[in-house]
Structure 1
Amino acid sequence: MEKSFLIIGAGEVGLAMLNSLYDYQANHEPQLQIGVLVQPLADSIAKVKNNSRFVNIRVESLDLVNESIQNLIAVFKKYDTVICCSGFSTGNGMQVKITRAVLDAGVRRYVPWQFGVDYDKIGRNSAQPSFDEQLDVRALLRAQHNTRWIIVSTGMITSFLFREDFGVVSLAEKKVSALGDWQHSLTLTSCEDIGNLTIEILFHQPEILDQVVFIAGDTLTFEEIANQLKGLFSTEFDRKLRDIPQLEKELKDNPEDVFSRYRLVFTNPGVSWPMLETFNHQNNIPTVNVATWIRKNLLNSML
């Protein structure tokens, strides 16, 4: 198996991916070659180079937005596997640009930035226009046979659920807002589990190729989320239903608000799947459920 890996991005998911790759290297594959592509900013470069864990890491410094595809190709050609963790923050069209560069570089395996919902099931013209670009990426990958690909579907990143500006769980106001219906469910996965499971998938034998692989830390209804918060914090949380007509009105009244788009799109089918159907369940790999994530990341700081 080829043993050179490039992680694009060193944000929350990118760092989790790097940590998991270094853990795997320490336990299984001492000869891995690992690189990371970051913005040409002193802070971005230092965050990686000053991390004592990342021994012998190759830092590729490129501005994804303004760099030519030819220069991206020149970097990508050095690696057998490219894992994109740049997220949506790089702007419209960037995931297609990166994917085209990966394909033109002849990279053997590509894990695109698809760490989210089941975009095939949601389909085009949803409330979140950036999801259409995710489908464009899938179309590019499926239309060719030179670069092998793996899409890792994770559901919502667990930490996103607890953003106050997302408007679903407010710890400050002790309030939970259900999107669409109290029995509607979300699949949630922590960044650490996204990193760990993606690396497990890449090294799995027999090799997994040209597939959408579903993982999950937890799948819960909004009612179950509210009940867990009540039990963990030993206090009532105010419960508010934001049904689909209300969410559609909120988006119509504020069409530029990205969180209004996310709240509406997460009422769709395709944002959750049963734990029994996940790669981690089928391979007996433990993951962090929502209650455990809350205890570790929120509960101690609130008490």
Structure 2
Amino acid sequence: MQDDTRTTDRGILVLGAGELGMCVLRQLARLAATPNGTRVTVLLRPSTLESNESSKKASIDELRALRIECLPGDLMSASISELSALFAGFDTVVSCIGFAAGKGTQVKLTRAAIEAGVRRFVPWQFGVDYDVIGRGSAQDLFDEQLDVRDILRGQERTEWLIVSTGMFTSFLFEPVFGVVNLAENTVNALGSWDTAVTVTTPEDIGLLTAEILFAKPRLKNQVVYTAGDTLTYGELADKVDKVLGRHVLRVEWSVAKLNADLAFDSDDAIKKYRAVFAQGKGVAWDKSCTFNHQQHVEVMDVERWMRLNLS
């Protein structure tokens, strides 16, 4: 019988140290910092480890201060068998490598984790509920996420955990996304004012992912939901008015309009996301079903995020 007093015996490997990866690593290091704690390692490109860029050097210095080991490896160029050899030294692999890594990467990492025989794998699924959205959505990258789920569910060698977080909270306010346009004093609703969206900050995703991995009893082979907030676009506009002391112009972008926008420019990634979120399917869930609610973990809602970042 395996001893579950610790999360792992051979440690946790995190893939990537970008915005989300660093948040996950900080929290794993915190929970692992006990006399008999779990070893935490991050896989980084050799070029990153050797870089003279100040931002990259600062990240490496922080990782070392957290007593996180750095393992060189290139996820982009490595084959499945090469990745498998890297992963084999660990019990848990957590992927913080997102869509920017390119098509096919998510499946490649999943197959490598299974081939390596890692005890548990957490794929990059920090986003929407792909099962509910289904195949053939406006965002074609989502189909590969379903491929990953099919692969994991179709085998018994490696346990898996999927952490569904919704959108990054900050993305609601990114000018390129176009939902909250403060420069034009406008909030644009995707679909309708009653369409809802779930959001979680990267910092809270890092906290909750670490807590999920160390949870007792052990969580495995399931989708775990988080939510910093779930709100409608109407509620979002109300919060902008309240926090910033203004009355925003409210414009409803219907599903038909957003689908037409995408049809005119079918390769535009942002228009793909808008069209998917406008459907309101698989992009929002009740906070009561989330890990943070059930475990009484305090997280940041949209209003608090706005007061800290906008006002």
TM range (shorter): over 0.9
* Alignment match, 1:168: 179
Cα shift at 1:202: 0.9
Deviates more, 1:284-293 or 1:124-133: 284-293
Aligned AA (1:102): A
- In structure 2, relative to structure 1, the CA distance for the partners of 1:81 and 1:54 (3 Å cut) is farther
* Alignment match, 1:51: 62
1:64 matched to 2:75? The reply is yes
Cα shift at 1:175: 1.2
1:290 matched to 2:296? The reply is no
What do residues 139-165 of structure 1 show as CA deviations (whole Å, max 9, x unaligned)?
000000110000000011111111111
* Alignment match, 2:14: 7
Aligned AA (1:14): G
* 8 Å Cα contact 2:162-2:222 kept in structure 1: yes
Aligned AA (2:308): K
Distance 1:291 1:63 in 2: 39
* Alignment match, 1:264: 275
* Alignment match, 1:18: 25
Distance 2:32 2:227 in 1: 24
Structure 2 residue matching 1:183: 3-state secondary structure: coil
What do residues 91-118 of structure 1 show as CA deviations (whole Å, max 9, x unaligned)?
0010001111011000101110000011
What do residues 9-57 of structure 1 show as CA deviations (whole Å, max 9, x unaligned)?
111110000111122123x565221111123322486343211664332
TM-score by length of structure 2 reads: 0.92
**Aligned with residue 46 of structure 2, among 37, 40, 59:** 40
* 8 Å Cα contact 2:32-2:40 kept in structure 1: no
Deviates more, 1:170-179 or 1:7-16: 170-179
* 8 Å Cα contact 2:225-2:290 kept in structure 1: yes
* 8 Å Cα contact 1:35-1:58 kept in structure 2: yes
Cα shift at 1:126: 0.1
Structure 1 residue matching 2:82: 3-state secondary structure: helix
Q: What stretches of structure 2 of length at least 5 have no aligned partner?
A: 1-5
Aligned AA (1:107): V
Aligned AA (2:146): L
- In structure 2, relative to structure 1, the CA distance for the partners of 1:53 and 1:24 (3 Å cut) is farther
Distance 1:298 1:189 in 2: 17
Identity of aligned residues (%): 46
- After the TM superposition, which residues 1-303 of structure 1 pair with which residues of structure 2 at under 5 Å, given as runs? 1=6, 2-3=8-9, 4-26=11-33, 31-41=37-47, 42=51, 43=53, 46-51=57-62, 54-268=65-279, 269-299=281-311
Q: How many residues align?
A: 298
Distance 1:284 1:89 in 2: 33
Deviates more, 1:168-177 or 1:137-146: 168-177
- In structure 2, relative to structure 1, the CA distance for the partners of 1:278 and 1:33 (3 Å cut) is same
Aligned AA (2:243): L
* 8 Å Cα contact 1:38-1:45 kept in structure 2: no
Aligned AA (1:19): R
Deviates more, 1:63-72 or 1:172-181: 63-72
* 8 Å Cα contact 1:7-1:37 kept in structure 2: yes
TM-score by length of structure 1 reads: 0.95
